[in-house]
Amino acid sequence: MSAIATVLPERATHQQTRTFNQQLVLRALHDHSPLSRADLARLTGLTRTSVGDLVGALIEDGLIEEVGRGRSSGGKSPILLRVAPDGRHLIGLDLGEAQFSGAVVNLRGEILRSIHLPLEGRNGEAAVALVLQLVDALRADDRSRLLGIGIGAPGVIDTSTGTVRWSVNLDWAELALGQLLEERFDVPVVVANDSHAAAVAELTFFRRPRPNNLIVIRLGRGVGAGIILNGQLFQGDGFGAGEFGHVSMGGAAEPCRCGRQGCLETVTSMPALIDAARAVEPSIADETGLVDAFLAGDAGIRRIVLAGARELGIAIGWMTGVLNVRHVLLVGPVAAFGDDWLAEVRRYARSSVLALLAQDTHIEFGHVHDDVVVLGASALLMEQQLGLGLVR
């Protein structure tokens, strides 16, 4: 166990210092539980008196709990502590797919309950109403103390204010979603891009050892990437890092919902693939129908889906040439196309960048379940409110 680094503003107020020290204690317990008060003093560099005081307050607040006694090193055996898993509950939302998903999550990142509400073509105000309905439904049966709401939404999101600057697929522009929910539910709200949230989830919960750099590409209703550089989420100068679904690819000329044409989304996103497939096979109505036809070996459908895989591969090759990030994970509904599709992505990624870089780049499927954005948004909220959970 190494000591935990401490960075505090030089002219911190008493309250800032206390919050900071509380977060040090929580973070140490989160990362190394169970620990005694003496362990905590050693790990955080705080005095035993401070630790005792902070621990008392955190127990009273329900955030940490005693879990029995540890081995004695002579005297009385020490009481061990941990973060109380259900000391707070969080709500995590994923607004990036054909159905809005939400879950109640505890402080361990465990999903306690989830709800899915189909979007059914809604956008604008109607989509906002669906978000409120989803949170209401999740709150209905949960009487625990709520830490807040974490949201992964598609598009360019100003995470500093919780404003959706532009979401093409939901037809939201300059929507103060975070503020709206904070006023309605009276809890802190974090809003982030859904692909960024997926990257945070992969790094926080699923990748061991944690890679220093990581790209997570979410492929479903839209196409976007979350980029982790040097252990931190990289959002870009205007929060738009990874918005490569709306980058024009040379070959394609289909009109895009963003008002331009030839975007990567027009050949790789699930709705684009379903539209193209329906033109050859009118019976295909949804994602399941398309995936089934692809896996059954329908030649026309395979041609369409693999053409999308190729464009994606080329785009990944570009990213490799720009960033040289070795770990690339693919998540979202499009991953259901499986190994043949992945092989095509890899082939084109490899052939579109310097061999020296391509040979060290690993393109794989990420966490396959549909809760990756919900968990990532929850992790962002835990980090903001308690200093827990996120990449360091």
Which residues of the shown chain bind Zn ion in the complex (CB under 5 A)?
A: 246, 256, 258, 263
Nearer to Zn ion, 263 or 312 (CB): 263
* Residues 158, 228: Cα–Cα separation, whole Å: 17
Nearer to Zn ion, 46 or 252 (CB): 252
Q: How far is the CB of 265 from Zn ion (least distance, A)?
A: 6
Residue 257 burial (10 A CB sphere; 0-12, 13-18, 19+):
middle
CA dihedral 291, 292, 295, 298 (to 10 degrees): -100
Nearer to Zn ion, 21 or 167 (CB): 167
DSSP class of 172: E
Q: Which pairing describes strands 362-365 and 64-69: parallel, antiparallel, or unpaired?
A: unpaired
Question: Encoding tokens for residue 381?
Answer: 């909220």
Question: Encoding tokens for residue 139?
Answer: 């709150």
Nearer to Zn ion, 28 or 263 (CB): 263
Nearer to Zn ion, 21 or 268 (CB): 268
Q: How far is the CB of 320 from Zn ion (least distance, A)?
A: 22
Nearer to Zn ion, 40 or 256 (CB): 256
Q: How far is the CB of 159 from Zn ion (least distance, A)?
A: 22
Q: How far is the CB of 166 from Zn ion (least distance, A)?
A: 11
Q: Which pairing describes strands 89-94 and 79-83: parallel, antiparallel, or unpaired?
A: unpaired
| DSSP states along 100-164 | EEEEEEETTS-EEEEEEEE-TT--HHHHHHHHHHHHHHHHHT--SPEEEEEEEESSEEETTTTEE
Q: How far is the CB of 239 from Zn ion (least distance, A)?
A: 17
